[in-house]
C-alpha cells in the first residue's frame, strides 16, 4: 500500500553535519579610494573555510564629487554601472574574466530575475524601480556632493556556480574589479562637463562555513588530495565589434572557442548614445535599423532560418533572448522587458540579438551546449540593416560552461 506524501512522516529532512557559519568581510588590499584614474580594486579572498558565493556581495560607496548645482548623477541601471571588468585570479592565473561587466550584469537582471528580484535590486543596488509597464534604464539619483552605499551581487559563474556549491576549503583567490576609465560612460550625468566620482571602501562579504565533523572532513581531504575538487558554472566571454551606418549586410566576427557554448547575446549601442554623458551608456540597447539576423557557427546557421525583426515582428527575437539568458536548467528566463522597451529605438531601448544553443535544459547535465573548440571554422553574426541603421558598438556575450578544479596543493584552474 502506498502512503500519501502528506502522511509519510519518514520523508523528513536528513540531518546536516555539525558546522558553523559566519559572514566574513574581505577588504581591498590596494587602497580605499578608486576612480577612473585609480581604477583597479584588488580584494584577496582567503576564507580558510567553505565560502558561499551564492550569498556573497560587493559592498561599496559611490561619491558624487561634483559640488556645483546642476551636477547630479543617476545610476545607469544600478550601482555596478561603473564596473568595466571583473576578474577572478589565483596564483597568477585568470580563473574567470568578465569584460564590459556592467552591461552584462544589467542584461542578466532584465532577463533572468523576475519582479521579485527587481524589487530587491532596487533596495540593495539602487536599480530602476518597477513601473506600470516595464523597468526603465535609470536607477537611483545622487545629488551634488552626496554619497550612497550599495550591496551588489557579482555576476560571476565562479561564485554563482551550478548546484549551489560552496567554494571549496583551501581555495584562495583575488577579485580584481576595474572601474571604467571613461567617466562619461559610467552614469547618466546631469552636466556632461562634470563627471567626477569616486568609489570608496569596497568590501566583499560572503558566509564562510566550518565543518566540525572529523569524518566528513577526512572524506573531503581524501578526495582533494587524490583527484581534486571540481565544480562548474556559467561564465561569459566578450567579443567587441562595430557596425557602420546605412543599409545592407553587416558581419561581426565572434570566433568563440568553447567546449560547451550555451548561448550568444549581442547588445547594440549607438556610438552617439554610448558616448553621450547624459544618456544611458550601460542600460540602453537599440535594434535600430535591424531587419534580420543569424549567427553562423562552424558553417551552420543558428537558428537554421534567419530571424526576421521589426517593431511589429519581434516575437522570435524576444524568444531567443528569453531562452539564451535563462538560468541553468531553466528553459526560459523571467524577463521584465516589455515589448515596447524591446523595440524602442531611443534611450529607453532594451532590445538584444540572441540565439539559444543549449542541447539540453536538464540542470543535472554538464556540457549541454555546442562544442566550438573542436573546429577552427569562423563564427560570425550576420545582420541585415535598413537605412535607419547608425554607427554602433556591438558587444557579444558568449555564455559557456566552465569547469573549476582545486588541487591538493591549493591551486585553482579553469577550463571553458
| Alpha carbon separation from 63 to 34, 39, 128, 146, 148 (Å, rounded) | 10, 15, 19, 6, 7
| Whether pLDDT at 102 is above 60 | yes
| Whether pLDDT at 12 is above 80 | no
Instruction: At 28, list the grid cell.
Output: 581591498
| pTM of this structure | 0.93
Instruction: At 49, list the grid cell.
Output: 573555510
| Whether pLDDT at 376 is above 90 | no
Peptide bond into 336 cis (omega under 30): no
Looking at residue 133, what is its pLDDT? 54
What's 6's DSSP letter? G
Tell which residue, 257, 272, 292, 310, has the closest CA to residue 393.
Answer: 272
β strands within 130-274, DSSP E: 138-142, 147-152, 172-179, 187-189, 197-211, 229-243, 248-253, 261-270
Looking at residue 275, what is its pLDDT? 92
pLDDT in tens, 234-273: 999 999 999 999 999 999 999 999 999 999 999 999 999 9
CATH number of 21-415: 2.70.9.10
Looking at residue 1, what is its pLDDT? 65
pLDDT in tens, 324-348: 999 988 888 888 888 888 999 999 9
| Whether pLDDT at 179 is above 60 | yes
| Whether pLDDT at 400 is above 70 | yes
| Whether pLDDT at 307 is above 90 | yes
| Cβ–Cβ < 8 Å for 289, 388 | yes
Residue 130 — very low, low, confident or very high, per pLDDT cuts 50/70/90? low
Instruction: Report the run of H or E that residue 248 belongs to, with start and end.
Output: strand 248-253
Give the distance between the most distant pair of CA atoms in the chain: 78
Tell which residue, 306, 304, 273, 303, has the closest CA to residue 288.
Answer: 273
**Percentage of the chain modeled with pLDDT above 70:** 99
**Distance between CA 186 and CA 199 in Å, rounded?**
12
- If you average pLDDT over every residue of the chain, what do you get? 93
**Percentage of the chain modeled with pLDDT above 90:** 81
| Cβ–Cβ < 8 Å for 157, 144 | no
Average pLDDT over residues 211-218: 94
Domain ranges of the chain: 21-415
Average pLDDT over residues 124-152: 86
Average pLDDT over residues 189-197: 97
Amino acid at each position: 500500500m502506498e502512503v500519501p506524501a502528506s502522511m509519510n512522516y519518514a520523508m523528513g529532512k536528513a540531518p546536516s553535519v555539525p558546522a558553523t557559519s559566519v559572514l566574513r568581510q574581505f577588504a581591498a588590499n590596494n587602497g580605499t579610494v578608486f576612480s577612473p584614474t585609480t581604477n583597479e580594486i584588488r580584494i584577496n579572498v582567503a576564507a580558510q573555510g567553505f565560502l558561499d558565493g551564492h550569498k556573497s556581495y560587493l559592498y561599496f560607496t559611490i561619491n558624487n564629487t561634483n559640488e556645483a548645482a546642476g551636477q547630479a548623477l543617476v545610476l545607469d541601471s544600478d550601482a555596478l554601472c561603473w564596473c568595466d571588468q571583473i576578474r577572478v585570479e589565483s596564483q597568477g592565473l585568470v580563473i574567470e574574466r568578465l569584460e564590459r561587466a556592467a552591461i552584462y550584469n544589467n542584461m542578466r537582471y532584465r532577463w533572468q530575475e523576475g519582479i521579485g528580484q527587481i524589487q530587491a535590486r532596487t533596495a540593495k543596488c539602487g536599480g530602476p524601480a518597477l513601473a506600470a509597464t516595464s523597468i526603465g534604464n535609470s536607477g537611483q539619483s545622487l545629488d551634488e556632493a552626496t554619497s550612497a552605499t550599495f550591496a551588489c551581487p557579482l555576476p560571476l559563474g565562479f561564485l554563482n556556480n551550478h548546484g549551489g556549491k560552496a567554494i571549496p576549503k583551501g581555495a584562495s583567490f583575488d577579485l580584481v574589479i576595474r572601474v571604467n576609465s571613461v567617466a562619461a560612460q559610467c552614469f547618466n550625468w546631469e552636466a556632461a562637463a562634470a563627471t567626477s566620482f569616486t568609489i570608496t571602501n569596497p568590501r566583499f562579504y560572503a558566509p564562510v562555513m566550518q565543518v566540525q565533523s572529523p569524518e566528513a572532513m577526512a572524506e573531503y581531504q581524501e578526495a582533494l588530495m587524490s583527484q581534486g575538487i571540481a565544480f562548474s558554472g556559467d561564465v561569459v566571454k566578450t567579443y567587441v565589434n562595430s557596425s557602420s551606418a546605412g543599409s545592407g549586410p553587416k558581419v561581426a566576427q565572434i570566433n568563440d572557442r568553447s567546449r560547451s557554448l550555451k548561448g550568444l547575446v549581442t547588445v547594440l549601442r549607438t556610438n552617439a548614445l554610448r558616448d553621450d554623458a547624459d544618456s544611458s551608456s550601460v542600460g540602453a540597447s537599440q535594434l535600430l535599423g535591424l531587419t534580420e539576423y543569424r549567427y553562423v557557427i562552424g558553417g551552420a546557421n543558428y537558428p537554421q532560418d534567419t530571424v526576421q525583426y521589426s517593431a511589429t515582428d519581434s516575437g522570435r527575437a524576444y524568444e531567443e533572448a528569453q531562452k539564451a539568458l535563462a538560468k541553468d536548467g531553466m528553459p526560459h528566463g523571467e524577463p521584465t522587458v516589455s515589448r515596447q522597451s524591446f523595440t524602442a529605438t531611443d534611450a529607453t531601448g532594451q532590445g538584444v540579438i540572441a540565439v539559444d544553443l543549449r542541447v539540453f535544459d536538464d540542470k543535472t547535465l554538464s556540457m549541454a551546449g555546442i562544442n566550438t573548440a573542436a573546429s577552427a571554422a569562423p563564427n560570425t553574426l550576420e545582420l541585415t540593416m535598413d537605412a535607419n541603421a547608425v554607427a554602433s558598438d556591438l558587444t557579444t556575450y558568449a555564455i559557456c560552461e566552465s569547469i573549476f578544479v582545486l588541487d591538493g596543493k591549493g591551486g585553482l584552474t579553469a577550463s571553458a
